[in-house]
Amino acid sequence: MSNVRLLIAAFLLFVSLVHAQELHEKIFFENSLMDGSYYYTKTEYTGNSWVKNIQNKLPVSDENSFTPGNSLELSYRSASEGFWSAAILHHELRGKDHFQDADELSFWIKTEGNPAPETLPFVHLTTQRATQSTKVKLGDYLSSSSATNWTRVRIPLSAMMNDKPVDQAEIAVVVFSQNQPSTSDVRIFIDQVELVPAATIAMIIDNAPKAVSAKGYEQHVDITWKKETNPLIKYIKIYRSLNGKDFNPVGIQSPQIAGYSDFTGPQTTPIRYKLTHIDQNYRETAFSNVVTASTRSMTDDELLDMVQLSNFRYYWDGCESNSGLALENIPGRSTMIATGASGFGMMAILAATKRGFITRDQAAERFIRITTFLSKADRFHGVFPHFLDGTTGHVVPFFGQRDNGGDLVETSFLMQGLLAARQFFNGNNANETQIRNTITKLWNEVEWDWYRRTNDSDFLFWHWSPDQEWIINHKLIGWNETMITYFLAIASSTHGVPASLYYSGWASQSAEAAIYRTNWGQTTDGASYINGNTYHGIALPVGVSNGGPLFFVHYSFLGLNPHQFTDRYVNYFDNNQRIAEINLRYCIENPLKHKGYGADFWGLTASDGVSYYTADEPTVKGDKGKLTATGALASFPYTPEASMRALKNYYRTYGKYLYGYYGFRDAIDLDNNWCSPIYMGLNQAPITVMIENYRSNLLWDLFMANPEVQEALKKISASR
């Protein structure tokens, strides 16, 4: 009996361990989002050898692709006196850090003419520690003619790793390099470079995508279909016809996303689409039915609807499938929920209900699922962790073992959304009653006072965990995104903190707080919370540096209406508007001469970058050359005209790269010809929510209607 129980326990442990590590495919290249060249490549040549490049990056070919829309062009001359090489670098997407075991390097090739096999390049791999594998000859692995058709090349990893075994996880670069000298140029195209399992039994899927529909907008068409969970499906392939007869492949989509935004620009005739499924061995099903849509001119209001809808979808059909909550980023881990982003997403769902994108009943069903899940999930004195496993409800220490407990700031973002929902669902039916009651319970159980650490502390603390306790020791000190944390801690009627903490903690004038601000702001401007300097002609009452990244004026104010919040120093609508204006004017002045910056292309805030996530701000030191749509668009209430100009430019000029089925991808860096491949849970919803606040005040009105919120306003006002 006890043995059986042990076995079951061991099995469950095994299952949970397996679950904890979602495994991803290691793909070096499928498509470049940007035209011209692919950012994650590097070319070199010496002597009389040469490899075609654009600023040391491989060119991208739109005309030739195995997986549409493009491939990498490898044009070279291999001279006897010289050498060339072209490297394709693996770019690790946020959270996609555990990979399936693979047996082969796989890619597809098409050659121009029939180059002699020995003139085709060597191929080798390089690890993160710069260990090089054995070089193999591409020509040895080319089984059939590749002059007219795309041909698959599969090179066993054992052929490259036989004398130098390495951990597959370490494989970071695929390198093509000069083989035999040749007197003529060679031109080949390479596509879909990845590590794959050995070819096994035939995997066949027989059904084409179902329930396909299409809807036209000003510059693009959204094609949607029914999401399939069949793991054999690698991609959905999209074909387009502009003349009603000839269909050309235009794109692929991951099965994680049940739609595709195809940028055609304005068209005068109807556009037709049909789709197929592609399996793991690149076999293709029959076509779906044909659907038709037309582009059309759109009013400003219609453009706002469109942008609100796309960004909302991230939280609706892009949610973690069990909990209904928001993922950290897409593509990314498919089971890891981000709690703060989920709070933002809840408000986007409420805005979408108001706009009629979904029905009230659909929204209520989702909130039943969300609140039921949250009631059972890990909490630490009522405080949720930053990340939760959506399948188990357990904490995921994504930022390291120290961060394995409660996160008070993320919890405040989550509660901001839940409190808005509690006012929205004011119906008497069973679902809406249950939603309100569960939210009240979750809210009342948050022990804000525990995160004060001691009864005489002037500050709230960001983290606590049962085994790590206060080891991270991060005190919450403004100006940043944590105003809402102090606000809700003061608002709580069950585990509240005194209103005096607003001034002793958030807006602290202490020497300790000044040092904290000076360290992260790299300036003494605003070190005592109040600022008082003028930047780009705009006086700034409150803020570190010249106001910092724009998310400071978004995250706390998705629900907290800044018009209604005035402290000892300033009214926060006025102050936030100034911070947004400073950001805009900085981008117009553009001291670092970054490409594109201007009155219709601005918005420095926290976002994904070419290498990692950074919080960008309008200073020479804090401006990395990348812009983020959410910076400008979540500022709509503060800068409506400049935000609308930015919306049109982001969509019309850069939408082709940036705009997808879940709205704007996270960031774009024109200097580097780079566009982020991910949508971010923290950055999509603020667009939908703040546009809604600009249009109707909806989320502001809902959040402010909570009696505890009104009480907090009074308490903070009384302590002025």
Question: 251 or 637, CB closer to Ca ion?
Answer: 251
**Beta carbons of 29 and 74 less than 8 angstroms apart:** no
**Shortest Cβ distance from residue 112 to Ca ion (Å)?**
17
**Shortest Cβ distance from residue 517 to Ca ion (Å)?**
47
Question: 104 or 191, CB closer to Ca ion?
Answer: 191
Tell whether residue 31 is a contact of Ca ion (CB under 5 A). yes
Report the residue from 60, 64, 153, 191 that binds Ca ion according to the rule CB under 5 A.
191
Print the SS3 string covering 498-522.
Answer: CCHHHHHHHCCCCHHHHHHHHHHHC
Torsional class of 566: left (φ above 0), alpha (ψ -120 to 50), beta (otherwise): beta
Q: Which stretch binds Ca ion (CB under 5 A): 186-194, 548-556, 576-584, 669-677?
A: 186-194
Torsional class of 570: left (φ above 0), alpha (ψ -120 to 50), beta (otherwise): beta
Structure tokens at 353: 């209900």
Q: Which stretch binds Ca ion (CB under 5 A): 157-165, 188-196, 283-291, 643-651?
A: 188-196
How far apart CA 335 and CA 35 sit, in angstroms, is 32
Tell whether residue 67 is a contact of Ca ion (CB under 5 A). yes
**Shortest Cβ distance from residue 65 to Ca ion (Å)?**
5
Q: How far is CA 447 from the centre of its chain?
A: 31
Structure tokens at 445: 């159980």
Question: 31 or 241, CB closer to Ca ion?
Answer: 31
Strands (E), 374-472: 387-389, 406-407, 463-464
How far apart CA 322 and CA 306 sit, in angstroms, is 27
Question: 72 or 615, CB closer to Ca ion?
Answer: 72
Q: How many residues contact Ca ion, by CB under 5 A?
A: 4
**Shortest Cβ distance from residue 247 to Ca ion (Å)?**
18
Question: 31 or 219, CB closer to Ca ion?
Answer: 31
Q: Which residue is nearest to Ca ion (CB)?
A: 67
Question: 31 or 41, CB closer to Ca ion?
Answer: 31
**Beta carbons of 355 and 309 less than 8 angstroms apart:** yes
Q: Which stretch binds Ca ion (CB under 5 A): 20-28, 65-73, 632-640, 702-710?
A: 65-73
**Shortest Cβ distance from residue 656 to Ca ion (Å)?**
16
**Shortest Cβ distance from residue 366 to Ca ion (Å)?**
35
* Pick from 324, 310, 315, 319: nearest CA to 347: 315
Structure tokens at 54: 């654009």
How far apart CA 144 and CA 123 sit, in angstroms, is 18
125's CB contacts (< 8 A; 6+ apart) are: 105, 132, 133, 157, 160, 161, 171, 173, 174, 175
Tell whether residue 106 is a contact of Ca ion (CB under 5 A). no
Tell whether residue 329 is a contact of Ca ion (CB under 5 A). no
* Pick from 389, 382, 390: nearest CA to 407: 382
**Beta carbons of 125 and 173 less than 8 angstroms apart:** yes
Question: 66 or 387, CB closer to Ca ion?
Answer: 66
- Our CA angle for 218, 363, 437, nearest 5°, is 150
Q: Which stretch binds Ca ion (CB under 5 A): 26-34, 317-325, 441-449, 454-462?
A: 26-34
**Shortest Cβ distance from residue 278 to Ca ion (Å)?**
12
- Neighbour-count burial of 590, counting CB atoms closer than 10 A to its CB (0-12 exposed, 13-18 middle, 19+ buried): middle
**Shortest Cβ distance from residue 108 to Ca ion (Å)?**
8
Q: Which stretch binds Ca ion (CB under 5 A): 63-71, 107-115, 158-166, 445-453?
A: 63-71
Question: 191 or 447, CB closer to Ca ion?
Answer: 191
Q: Which stretch binds Ca ion (CB under 5 A): 14-22, 62-70, 146-154, 321-329?
A: 62-70
- Please count the other Cβ atoms lying within 10 Å of the Cβ belonging to residue 680: 29
Question: 67 or 261, CB closer to Ca ion?
Answer: 67
- Neighbour-count burial of 620, counting CB atoms closer than 10 A to its CB (0-12 exposed, 13-18 middle, 19+ buried): exposed
Q: Which stretch binds Ca ion (CB under 5 A): 20-28, 67-75, 115-123, 216-224?
A: 67-75
Question: 52 or 563, CB closer to Ca ion?
Answer: 52
Structure tokens at 609: 């970058």
**Shortest Cβ distance from residue 252 to Ca ion (Å)?**
7
Q: Which stretch binds Ca ion (CB under 5 A): 13-21, 57-65, 540-548, 677-685?
A: 57-65
**Shortest Cβ distance from residue 184 to Ca ion (Å)?**
27
Question: 63 or 467, CB closer to Ca ion?
Answer: 63
Question: 191 or 449, CB closer to Ca ion?
Answer: 191
Phi, psi of 234 (to 5 degrees): -90, -45
**Shortest Cβ distance from residue 63 to Ca ion (Å)?**
12
**Shortest Cβ distance from residue 74 to Ca ion (Å)?**
14
Tell whether residue 65 is a contact of Ca ion (CB under 5 A). yes
Q: Which residues in this chain contact Ca ion in the complex, by CB under 5 A?
A: 31, 65, 67, 191
